A and B are shown apart, each in its own frame.
Chain A
């Protein structure tokens, strides 16, 4: 790890002023930042500790029924907040399917949103990586790329965004409140993470020094509380990143789909909202055919970026499964294995 100055501001404005100096990085729980600093992927000269800034640890219900979650709320505190989990069950399920209990106890809302890709070459200083060093090349293109992107990638970068949390958030039109050297603004989570294009080193819409202060979910997102799921396929049962994942949320009138939300994880450099699939579902009676059609549409533009064509079919199946389970209804209690398509319940189907 490189040497750095440790700075502990006492207010948001002091933090932003400190981070305006080039070479600064915000430190939340550090479960991603310290990991990156240990390997040298990130070498900040100044580490700005935001863990004790006042007012950043609250979950606040808004008069209209929406919710505002301050950036330092810990992943587990949010997932186990009873009202939150009841109102936005797919978000709670996504949080509980991520990392481990220890990591969720530490990890923050802001840090989860801002976590970096897990592409192995990004973490290996001996490899060429455009995201880490602009213009240096991309060793993933001809390397181990089974888990890389199938949507929205470019020849310059084929990495995926690893967050589970972000997938239902984009489906539900969440936005972040940001403060920075040039004032405050709001960014939809859907526009927070950038697709690589020719500039994969520009990972998010945040300008240098900008701080995520809160996340908001609109009141309308609560309309899906009865029929919302997050499903995540992993290479082992637990404590692994998604190979592919999907959030599905339905608002039903009997069997008729009044509104639908679909988003995918593990497929692109951002959580991937499938708006055209949602349009295709709207006004249709829920059926296996309608779900299959939606999955087809969601992956219509997908292309393998390497040895990963299998992810396209897998992603279709996870969309169908997530929609089918959402249609069955949000489970009464959080499943023992949150987001797992595998169930130890007798009689459950184990293959799609």
Chain B
């Protein structure tokens, strides 16, 4: 049974023919759409390496059936930078040493972008740590990750204030 789905991935409309409905969004991105930036850690919802945004919300792509996401907008780590200009969260991760080996980093960054959009952390490091608990870092770069998010969040609040003024 083959099935055709439409997704907007990083701003680009894509039509994908699935010859087998078993494919997860994670496998679709990595193996069929040449977007290997999203990482596979556990494949069971336990590590956060596969975090992407679907319709602006962070989710685990390893536990999402691609067929079920027909018609949605997906943003992956490849879609964050604008040309050579890094996304503020990417830049903040570099500035604060928010990684070591880098394997968890695409998931951490996508999760951080989602967290800032959600707006529940209010610049509180404790809330940031709690709301980032779905992203495991084996290298233990948590200190830098929290600092990076604090800074990126502050910058984005200030930018919003400027826009509103």
Which A residues are closer than 8 A to B by beta carbons?
A: 1, 3-6, 8, 27, 29-31, 34-35, 38, 47, 49, 51, 76, 80, 99-103, 105-106, 237-239, 336-338, 344
Contacts and interface: CB of A to CB of B under 8 A. Distances in A.
Contacts of B137: none
Contacts of B3: 6
Contact of A102 (B22, B51, B65, B120): B51
A3 B124 contact: no
Interface stretch (B7-15, B82-90, B128-136, B155-163): B128-136
A2 to B, nearest CB: 8
Nearest to B46: A239
Report, nearest first, the 3 A-B pairs whose CB atoms are least far apart: A100-B134, A6-B21, A238-B133
A102 B43 contact: no
B134 A51 contact: no
B58 A6 contact: no
Contacts of A337: 126, 130
A294 to B, nearest CB: 30
A1 B43 CA distance: 13
Interface in B28-76: 43-45, 48, 51, 57-60, 63-65, 67-68
A34 B69 CA distance: 14
Given A29-B64, A239-B133, A80 B43 contact: no
A89 to B, nearest CB: 15
12 contacts: A1-B22, A4-B22, A6-B67, A27-B68, A34-B64, A49-B67, A102-B59, A103-B60, A105-B57, A336-B126, A336-B127, A337-B130
A45 B51 CA distance: 28
B118 interface: yes
A30 B63 contact: yes
A31 B63 contact: yes
B44 A38 contact: yes
Contact of A47 (B21, B44, B129, B133): B21
Given A102-B114, A105-B57, A105-B59, A27 B43 contact: no
Contact of A103 (B20, B65, B120, B134): B134
Given A3-B22, A6-B1, A27-B65, A102 B130 contact: no
B115 interface: yes
Nearest to B125: A336
A117 to B, nearest CB: 16
A106 B131 CA distance: 15
Given A30-B68, A35-B45, A336-B127, A101 B22 contact: no
Nearest to A344: B126
Contact of B48 (A4, A102, A344): A102
Contacts of B68: 27, 30, 49, 51
Contacts of B51: 102
A51 to B, nearest CB: 5
Contact of A336 (B43, B44, B130): B130
Contacts of B118: 76, 101
Contacts of B105: none
Nearest to B127: A336
Nearest to B67: A6
A101 B111 contact: yes
Nearest to B50: A102
B6 interface: no
Contact of A239 (B20, B44, B57, B134): B134
Contacts of A8: 67
B103 to A, nearest CB: 17
A100 B50 CA distance: 13
B59 A336 contact: no
B44 to A, nearest CB: 6
Nearest to A106: B59
Contacts of B63: 29-31, 34-35, 103, 106
A306 to B, nearest CB: 24
Contacts of A49: 65, 67-68
Nearest to B20: A3
A103 to B, nearest CB: 6
A36 to B, nearest CB: 10
Nearest to A239: B133
Contacts of A6: 1, 3, 21, 65, 67
A5 B1 contact: yes
B57 A237 contact: no
Contact of A101 (B1, B45, B115, B126): B115
Contacts of B21: 4-6, 47
B64 A102 contact: no
Contacts of B111: 101-102
A3 to B, nearest CB: 7
Given A3-B22, A344-B126, A31 B133 contact: no
